[in-house]
Amino acid sequence: MSHISEPVSAQYKRAAIIGGGVIGISWAGLFLARGIDVVINDPREDIEDLVLAGLDEIAPALAELGLPTESLSAGLSFEADLAKAVADVDIVQENGPERLELKQQIWQTIEQNAPAHALLATSTSTIPATAIAEAMQQPERLIVGHPFNPPHLVPLVEIVPGKQTSEATVQQANAFYAALGKKPQVLHKEIPGFVANRLQSAIFRECVYLVAQGVVTEQELDDIVTSSIGMRWAVAGPFRTFHLGGGPAGLPHFIEHLGRTMEASMWPALGNPTFDDATVALLTEQADEAFGNGTVEELAAERDRAQIALMRALGETPDAGNTRA
């Protein structure tokens, strides 16, 4: 049996990207680099210029990942009519605004016009597939394929089935994102915010509290994270880390030894800040001080270069054989 996987483009020749904003452009770049033709549907009048400029911006990161970037736009087209955009595609990845009624409306049109074999995925960060599919005739076909921004770079895709999503759709989504070079993770239950964003949210709440209390500045807090838990969690997640922290007896010993203290004295002491005017003013002032000497684009490019170096060190860069030739 051959271990060489066939390119994702052998099965997925054409994709519809619905919503060509931050996430849609990033998915489009990755799909194109993987040899999948992309049709973009977005009502913005300047959508073509926006997407082409966006592709130019992410091309260096795609190239760093070993993916081809010279002829990306060769497979790109635009279609303002949603029904026509999805009529002849193998996958629909929807990245429209995060509004339930709008997504419900978009998906009703998509299911009536996309081919029966097409994978139907939404990038939503917060809305359960169950809610979006309420108005659909074939709710078993819809699944959340939630990327972590930027999708062309960060490996994780959270796959979140709705109550009526079929097992076949779950498996199809899992296989598609894996073939695309991503690290898909299927959640066993729908929960608001899914997993990665719930974790970010829990930690960010404490970050805001610590800065608002004057314990550290934003820059100092960021340095603490990148030189400790950030670095560590890239190689061992929180549970593995505390399993190792428990010594030879592992996690059960950690819980008895330190976990109970954490529960009794640390959990009740965690902060519960709000974004009141004074807090927002403080956070804004410190962000200007810490990050104000570069544009967001420059800082993002710098972060992406470091991120790719880390992925390379961890052997997490995708297999570049599976590309647009």
Ligand X SMILES: NC(=O)c1ccc[n+]([C@@H]2O[C@H](COP(=O)([O-])OP(=O)(O)OC[C@H]3O[C@@H](n4cnc5c(N)ncnc54)[C@H](O)[C@@H]3O)[C@@H](O)[C@H]2O)c1
Q: Which spans of this chain sit near ligand X (rule: CB under 6 A)?
A: 18-24, 41-44, 95-98, 102, 106, 123-125, 146-147, 149
Closer to ligand X at the Cβ: 149 or 201? 149
Q: Of the two residues 77 and 149, which places its CB atom closer to ligand X in the complex?
A: 149
At closest approach, how far in Å is the CB of 40 from ligand X? 9
Q: Is 142 exposed, middle or buried (0-12, 13-18, 19+ CB in 10 A)?
A: buried
- Backbone angles phi and psi of 113, in degrees to 5: -125, -15
Q: CA–CA separation, 94 vs 31, rounded Å? A: 13
Residue 39 to residues 81, 189, 228, Cα–Cα distance (Å): 11, 32, 43
Q: Are strands 119-122 and 37-41 parallel, antiparallel or unpaired?
A: unpaired
How many angstroms separate the CA atoms of 2 and 66, rounded?
23
* Residue nearer to ligand X on the CB measure, 6 or 98: 98
Alpha-carbon distance of 201 to 155, in angstroms, equals 20
Q: Distance between CA 158 and CA 179 in Å, rounded?
A: 15
**124 versus 169: smaller Cβ distance to ligand X:** 124
Q: At its nearest, how many Å lie between ligand X and the CB of residue 268?
A: 32
Element (H, E) at 183: strand 183-186
The nearer residue to ligand X, 18 or 39, going by C-beta atoms, is: 18
Q: At its nearest, how many Å lie between ligand X and the CB of residue 23? A: 3
| Alpha carbons 263 and 255: distance in angstroms, whole number | 9
- Torsion sign, CA atoms 261, 237, 196, 212: positive
Q: How far is the CB of 208 from ligand X (least distance, A)?
A: 18
Smallest separation (angstroms) from ligand X to the CB of 293: 24
Toward ligand X, which CB reaches closer, 146 or 152?
146
Residue placing its CB nearer to ligand X in the complex, 106 or 212: 106
Give the separation between CA 104 and CA 111, rounded to whole angstroms.
Answer: 11
Q: Which residue is closest to ligand X by CB?
A: 21
Cα–Cα distance for residue pair 307/154, rounded to 1 Å: 8
Closest distance between ligand X and the C-beta of residue 162, in Å? 15
Closest separation in Å from C-beta 249 to ligand X: 39
